[in-house]
Structure 1
Amino acid sequence: MKLIKLLVFLLVFTSCKHEIIKEITIQEDVQFLADDALEGRQTGTIGEQKAAKYIAERFKNLGLTPKGTDGYFQAFSFKPKTDPHQEVKYNVKDGDSTITGTNVLGFIDNKAQNTVIIGAHYDHLGYGAEGSLFRGEKKEIHNGADDNASGVAVLLNLAQKLKAKNTNNNYLFITFSGEEMGLLGSNYYTKNPTIDNKKANYMINMDMVGRLKADSTLAVYGVGTSPIFKQTLQAHNNRFKLVQKESGVGPSDHTSFYNSDIPVLHFFTGQHEDYHKPSDDTERLHFNGMQIISNYIFEIITDLDNNGKLPFRKTKNESEEVPRFKVGLGVIPDYLFDGKGMRIDGISEDKPAQKAGLQKGDIVVKLGDSTVFDMMSYMKVLATFKAGDKTNVTVDRQGKMVDAVIQF
C-alpha cells in the first residue's frame, strides 16, 4: 500500500514553475498494476477500474490527449459467452449477467495524415477466473505481472519516448480490457473506432514482454502483414534472437486489427510456468530486458516514420492448421525454441509427463513412432493419441537421449 500511495502522489503532483516531476519507470508502473490492491484486474471489477484510472492519469501526465468516448475511457458492456462458438453481444441493457469493460485511450496529435496504434491489454484473471491454471484449494490473486502489466508498462515508456518525436505519424495508445475473455476490448474498438480505421497506419501489440530469457529470444508475430516489416526488424536487431512469425492472427489483441486490414506486429518474450497463475508476480520480471525491448520498438517506429502509409498484406492463418487434441502431456512448450524438436519449458503436477520422469528443458525428439521436428509436428503426433493410450517418448536431455513411457 505504501507503494500505491507513493505512485498516486507522483501522478497527482501538480507542476509548479520550478518543479521537476519525477519520471516514472517501467518497474514502478508494473509494481502498481500488479499490486494485490488491484485484485488481479479482472474485467469489470473495481480493481480493473483502479488500473484504468491509473493509466488515464499516466496518459494525462505524459501530455497525451483523451481519445476515448468519455475522456480517456471507452466503456463497453457485454454478456459473457455461455457457448464458445457464440458471438459476444455488446451494449446490452444492465442486468445481473452484464459486465462493463473499459478501454483507455491517449493520443499524440502530430497533425499527420496517418496514425500508428500502440496497444496492450491491462485486464487479468482476478482471483482465478476462467483460464486460470492454478490448482490450489484456496483462491489467490492472479496479479498478472507479465500478463500483462509488462506490456502496459512498455506502452507507457514508448508514449514518453514518442512525445515530439517521429512526427510524420500520430500515435494512439490503447490499453484494452476484456482480452482474457476473448479479445473483447480490441474487438469492440475496431468496430467502434475513435479514429477512422482507414487512417490507421499499423498496429504494435505487446503482450507478455517481461520475461526476456538468457538467450534474448524475442518472438515477433505478424511480420508478413506488411512487406517492409522483416527488413526493418533485422536492420535494428543487434541484441535479440528473433523468432519471426508471418501470421497476423494469434491469441492477443493484434488479431482484431489484422482482421480490420491493418498491418500488425506483436511482441512476446515467451511462455513460462507462472502463466495464468498467482506466481506471475513482479519480482520475476526482467526489467532491463523490458527497457531493451522498448528501445528496440522505438527504433522500429523511428525507421518507419518516413515510409508513409504501409501496405497491408494478408497472411496464412497458422492457427487453422493446429490439430485438436484428446490428450496432453501436461507440459508448457517453449514456443520460442527454434531447434529440432519440442523443448519443455514447464511440467504440470500429476500429469503424464511428470509421471514419466520428463523434466523442464527436455527436448522431445520422438513420440511413439514419429520423429518430432518442431512444434507443429509435435502437435500433429499428439493429436493421434486418446485417453488410455501408452507410448514411448524420447527426449534430448543436455545432449543425452533419454527414453520414457507415457501413459495418457
Structure 2
Amino acid sequence: MKHITLLVLFVTLWGCKKEYTYKNEIKEDVVFLSDDKLEGRETGTQGEQEAANYIVKRFKEMGLAPKGTENYFQPFNFKPKTNPHDEVKFVTMEADGTITGTNVLGYIDNQVEQTVIIGAHYDHLGFGSEGSLYRGEEKQIHNGADDNASGVAVMLDLAGKLQKANTSNNYLFMAFSGEEMGLLGSNYFAKNSTIDLEHVNYMINMDMVGRLKQDSTLAVYGVGTSPRFKQVLSATNKSFKIIENESGIGPSDHTSFYLQDIPVLHFFTGQHEDYHKPSDDFDKLNYDGMNLVSNYIFDVISELDGQGKMAFRKTKNESEETPRFKVGMGVIPDYLFDGKGMRIDGVSEGKPAKRAGLEKGDIVIKMGDSSIVDMMSYMRALATFKQGDTTKVVVTRNGTEVEKELIF
C-alpha cells in the first residue's frame, strides 16, 4: 500500500510539472555572458565553463533535451598552434599542453526525420589573446557582448519560441566553443556529430547580431547555398535593409556545416570600433534590434517549415579571391555599406589612416591610381602597396571630396 501511495504521489507531481512559457530574456542572457566574472570566456578557461553551465541551465528551463556526448556537453581536446600557418590538431585525451573546449547542445525532438541546427559561438578572447585589437599596456577583460553573447542570446530566444512551433523539423541548438581559435567547436562537431548529418535540413548561425544600426542594415550570408533561401528571406522581411552574400564560406561557424554540404544562413549586424576590444560591453548593444533579428529568423524558419528538405547548392568561395596584404590602413570597413566606395566604420589610433587624417564615415573612392567602387576593389588596391609606400587617398566626407596623403 505504501508503494502504491508513493507511485500515485509521483504521478501527481509529474502531471503538475510546470510547462515552459516563453519569455524574452535576451538582455538578461547578454548581461550574464558578458559579465567581468566570466573573464572573457576564453576557450578552456573556468569563465568559459561557467558560461557553458549557464547555457545548460537555460536549456533545462526550456525543456531542451541533452544532445552532447556527456549530457549537454561535447568536450574536445586540442593542441594550440605554435605556428600561425599550421592547423590545430584535435587529440583524443587530455595531456600536457592541450586545451579542452566544450560545445553545448540542446535538442527539441518533434519526432520527425529532418533537423535544423541553430548555432552561435559563446567563447571570446579572455584577457586579450591572439586576435585582440586592444593596444593598451595593461591586460583587460574582453567581455565580447556583441561577439558573441549577442548571438547566443538570440539562439536561446529562438529555442524558447520554437518549443511548440514549426514542428515539421527537430531543432538542435548549439553553443560553439573555440570559434575565436579557428572555428574549432563547429569543426569538431561536423566531424564527430551527435546526430546524423544526412538528416540535417539546414543550419542557421548568428555571430555579432547585437549592433543593428539606424538604417537597419542586416547582412545575411549563405543565401546561395539553397535555391529557396532568397525568396524566403525577401518574403519574410518587414524591417531590414538586407545585404546578401551568396557564399557559404566565411569567418564563422556556418562554414563548418557548408563544407559538409549543408545549406547555411549566417546573420550579422556589422563591424564596429569595439570589435575584439575590452569596450565591447552589454550597454552598447541595440536590444530592440536584437528582438527584430530574432523575430525575423523565426519568421524565416516558419516560412521554411513544412517545405521538406532544402536542396544544397555549392557557391563560389570568395575567400580564395581575396588579395593578400603586406600593409593595412588601420581602419574598420563598413561591410554592410552598399554604396559606391569603401566606407570607414572606425579608425585605429597610431595607424596610417589616423595619421593621414581619415575619419569614421569617410568613403574611400580612390587610392593612388585605383578607383574604389566596392570592398573587393579596395582590397585589390591595398594589396599593391608595401611598407614605406606613400599614396594619395580620396574620400567623400559629408558629400565633399577630400584628398589625403597616406604613408604605410
TM-score, scaled relative to structure 2: 0.95
Please report how far the alpha carbon of residue 238 of structure 1 lies from its aligned counterpart in structure 2 after TM superposition: 1.7
Q: How many residues align?
A: 395
Letter in 1 for 2:370: S
CA deviation profile, 1:381-403 (whole Å, cap 9, x unmatched) = 01001111111010000100001
Structure 1 Cα separation of the partners of residues 20 and 107 of structure 2:
23
CA deviation map 1:218-247 (0-9, x unaligned): 000000000000000000112101000000
Q: Tell whether the 8 Å contact from 2:94 to 2:100 is kept in structure 1 after alignment.
A: no
For the 8 Å contact 1:79–1:92, the answer to whether it is kept is no
Which 4+ runs in 1 deviate beyond 4 A? 15-22
Matches within 5 A, 1:367-386: 367-386=367-386
Tell me how far 1:24 sits from its aligned partner.
5.5
- SS for the counterpart of 2:41 is coil
Output aligned runs, 1:357-368, within 5 Å.
357-368=357-368
What is the rounded CA distance, in whole Å, between the counterparts of 2:20 and 2:232 in structure 1? 36
Aligned position for 2:10: none
Structure with bigger gyration radius: 2
Q: Distance in 1 between matches of 2:395 and 2:21?
A: 55
Distance 1:22 1:234, change over 3 A: closer
Q: Which residue of 1 aligns with 2:221?
A: 221
Contact 2:22–2:160 (Cα < 8 Å) also in 1: no
Shift of the alpha carbon at 1:21? 7.8
Q: Give 1:87 deviation, angstroms.
A: 2.7
Superposed counterparts of 1:5-404, under 5 Å:
23=23, 25-404=25-404
Give 1:305's aligned amino acid: D
Give the aligned residue type for 1:271. Answer: Q
Whether contact under 8 Å (1:391, 1:405) holds in the other structure is yes
The residue identity in structure 1 corresponding to 2:282 is T
Distance between the aligned counterparts of 1:263 and 1:291, measured in 2? 24
How far is 1:71 from its partner?
0.6
User: Secondary structure of the residue that 1:180 maps to in structure 2?
Assistant: helix
Q: Which residue of 2 aligns with 1:7?
A: none
Deviation, 1:83, is: 2.3
2:7 alignment partner in structure 1: none
Q: In the TM superposition, what is the alpha-carbon distance from 1:19 to its structure 2 partner? A: 10
Distance 1:81 1:18, change over 3 A: closer
Out of 23-32 and 48-57, give the one that drifted further.
23-32
Question: Aligned pair in 2 of structure 1 residues 292, 325: CA closer, same or farther (>3 Å)?
Answer: same
Distance 1:342 1:62 in 2: 44
Encode CA deviations 1:80-101: one digit per residue, 9 max, x unaligned: 1122332322134433310000
Structure 2 regions of 5+ residues with no counterpart? 1-14
The answer to whether the 8 Å contact 2:323/2:380 transfers is yes
Aligned-residue offset at 1:72: 0.4
1:17 Cα deviation from its structure 2 partner: 6.8
CA deviation map 1:286-318 (0-9, x unaligned) = 001000000000000000001100000000000
Q: What is the deviation of 1:23? A: 3.5
1:117–1:202 contact (8 Å) kept in structure 2: yes
Q: What does residue 12 of structure 1 align with? A: none
Amino acid at match of 1:188: Y
SS in 2 for 1:39: helix
How far, CA to CA, are the matches of 1:182 and 1:124 in structure 2?
12
In 1, Cα distance between equivalents of 2:22 and 2:406 = 56
AA in 1 matched with 2:172 = L
Deviations 1:38-94 (A, max 9, x none): 000000000000000000110011010000001100000000112233232213443
| Aligned counterparts of 1:360 and 1:89: Cα–Cα separation in 2 | 40
- Write the distance in 2 (CA, Å) between the matches of 1:20 and 1:322: 47
CA distance in 1 between counterparts of 2:217 and 2:21 reads: 35
Helix, strand or coil at the partner of 2:120: strand
Q: Any unmatched runs of 5+ in structure 1?
A: 1-14
Change (3 A) 1:20 1:99: closer
Q: Alpha-carbon deviations, 1:302-357, whole Å to 9, x = none? A: 00001100000000000111000111111000001000000000000011111111
Residue type of the alignment partner of 1:246: E
Structure 1 residue 18: Cα displacement: 8.2
